[in-house]
Amino acid sequence: MADQQFRWKGEFPKIGIRPTIDGRRRGVRESLEDQTMNMAKGVAKLLSDNLRYPDGSPVQCVIADSTIGGVAESAAAASKFSKENVGVSITVTPCWCYGTETMDMDPSIPKAIWGFNGTERPGAVYLAAVLSAHAQKGLPAFGIYGHDVQDAGSTEVPEDVREKLLGFARAGLAAAMMKGKSYLAMGSVSMGIAGSIVSDSFFQEYLGMRTEYIDMSEFVRRINENIYDPVEYEKAFAWVKKNCIEGPDINAESIQSSRAKKDQDWETVVKMTIIARDLMIGNPRLAELGFGEEANGHNAIVSGFQGQRQWTDHFPNGDFMETILNSSFDWNGIRSPYMVATENDSLNGVVMLFGHLLTNTAQIFADVRTYWSPESVERVTGHKLTGEAANGILHLLNSGSATMDGTGEQTKDGKPVMKPFWEITEEDAQKCLDATSWRPANVEYFRGGGYSSDFLTRGGMPLTMSRLNLVKGIGPVLQIAEGYSVDLPPEVHDTLDKRTDQTWPTTWFAPVITGKGAFKNVYDVMDNWGANHGSISYGHIGADLITLASILRIPVSMHNVPEEKVFRPRAWGLFGTDNPESADYRACQNFGPLYK
């Protein structure tokens, strides 16, 4: 079995804490040493106590060996950070420091500065000066300055400072964890979908990632030549027979597969799942079986499977494979989900990855299928939408590849949630499995057969839908819509669901409406969405997505995040403060991709 230690090759990036100080001796520096270093220790504890890596372990922080009062100590900290695999830096200070001498100069490391709001020493003056230096040198940094004045001896991290430190750190680590990893394209372009035209330059320049490619015939080779762990396969197949409920076949009897063909399809899709995971991350068991090259994998943190149509016209579809990998559990138990994009839509795979790295939870892949106005719902069903759904709903539905975590059957305090894997119980996982049926594939779409997951997401979950688009002349552009999953009466759901493909999972989504721009109403959200797919993450994480996008220099074209929660580098304000959306575009264009 491919275990977590093998999955995450190398160590996770750490957060470097840089305590900067007034370099003047003869009493000035000496009087500030303890306070400055204690600020660094307090930030390190805050981050390690509250943030985790994708494997569930606490985030690690590295503090410079000494306070940094000048360029020599700054260089010493940079050297230590390089050896310690620091991928994010946070500078802290209660006082004036020498800006260009003490600043972090690494152009590819996300950076923030917390200047203590106190009256005894001018930490705010240093903050303003060093942020000006960052802007002048083209090294955007996030400025953190508490709203209220603190006493000189205070060791407290104020709530507003705490929120910004955690938000920046989550986004900075997400950027750092992508660097050096791969997107694995399994197949090529699916049905002319532009998102599955994998852009090498985008992945390399904006995310610091490689793009890797295999032909789908590699699945055939590995199945025919038994290039998978046979012991794991037997375990997996037994688990599937016990836990995966086969649903009714909606195909006309004349075109339904025989029982023998359906049983064979089950064997094939289980093998496809094991093989896809091995292709992404490798598997040391393959080396033991004599397949040393295949054992290495492609170091892929995200992948996509083309499927349609060259594969699915002849072989079982990839829905089972994608659903199982995208979920937080399988025959090996509860574990971190893999990110696998349907139809090799790499751009939707990227936002799945963004959401996962920010939350450590599974992500729902879906078509943004239909806008249902309140009037249309009432006309078709007689039901009047109320509550979060009162302004209309979006039918999020795709070919059975959404994570089973998306059922909403995991609960916390009696409410539906999607948890990081280390919080998921065996009962949670079983409830998700029990709420999912596996429908024989609709032969109209999938001539080769296979199985699609079918479930209904429970209402009441805060969700964030996002999508990345590539625009000629601009580059990548991010879209964000926060909202809620909603419940419909069973008969209303059935009526609406049966107007499309009822063998696929449904999430009824109500975006939060602001009354302006793309969020003037629910129709405008649908009308402004830039592609056919979206990725849905548990929680309202739009603010963190905006912070991450600014680190990567990706402008945000639409969002409904409250203005007071938006956190970008301080230099963004120098591109204009009256229209933040326009300033975001200009700043991203000016500074350019992080790794170019």
**Hey, which residues are catalytic here?**
343, 367
How far is it, in rounded angstroms, from Cα 379 to Cα 67?
Answer: 69
How would DSSP label each residue in 385-449? P-GGGTT-EEEEE-SS-S-GGGG--EEETTEEE---GGG--HHHHHHHHHT-EEEEP-TTT-TT-
Neighbours of 491 (CB within 10 A): 11
Best CA proximity match to 464, nearest among 442, 482, 484: 482
Quote the radius of gyration of the chain (alpha carbons, Å).
Answer: 25
Contact 497, 575 (CB under 8 A): no
Longest pairwise C-alpha distance within the chain? 93
Q: Which DSSP symbol is given to 204?
A: I
Element (H or E) spanning 91, and its range?
A: strand 86-93
Is 491 within any annotated ligand binding site? no
* Helices and strands counted in the chain (H then E): 19, 23
Say whether 584 sits in a helix, a strand or coil.
helix
Is 212 within any annotated ligand binding site? no
How far is it, in rounded angstroms, from Cα 236 to Cα 540?
Answer: 35
How far is it, in rounded angstroms, from Cα 482 to Cα 149?
Answer: 33
Alpha-helical runs (H) found in 229-368: 230-243, 259-281, 284-288, 319-326, 346-359
How far is it, in rounded angstroms, from Cα 339 to Cα 209?
Answer: 15
How far is it, in rounded angstroms, from Cα 87 to Cα 11?
Answer: 11
Neighbours of 543 (CB within 10 A): 23
25: Cα separation from own chain's centroid: 47
Q: How many Cα atoms are found within 13 Å in the side-chain-facing hemisphere of 586?
A: 12
User: How many residues are recorded in the chain?
Assistant: 596
User: What beta strand segments (E) does 47-152 contain?
Assistant: 61-63, 86-93, 111-115, 142-144
Neighbours of 470 (CB within 10 A): 18
Amino acid letter at 535? Answer: S
Contact 558, 480 (CB under 8 A): yes
- As given in the structure block, the two tokens for residue 583 are 């300033």
How far is it, in rounded angstroms, from Cα 432 to Cα 453?
Answer: 11
Is 367 within any annotated ligand binding site? yes
- As given in the structure block, the two tokens for residue 544 are 């963190």
Best CA proximity match to 279, nearest among 219, 190, 197, 369: 219
How far is it, in rounded angstroms, from Cα 92 to Cα 116?
Answer: 8
Q: Which residues are annotated binding-site positions for Mn(2+)?
A: 343, 367, 533
Q: Which residues are annotated binding-site positions?
A: 343, 367, 533
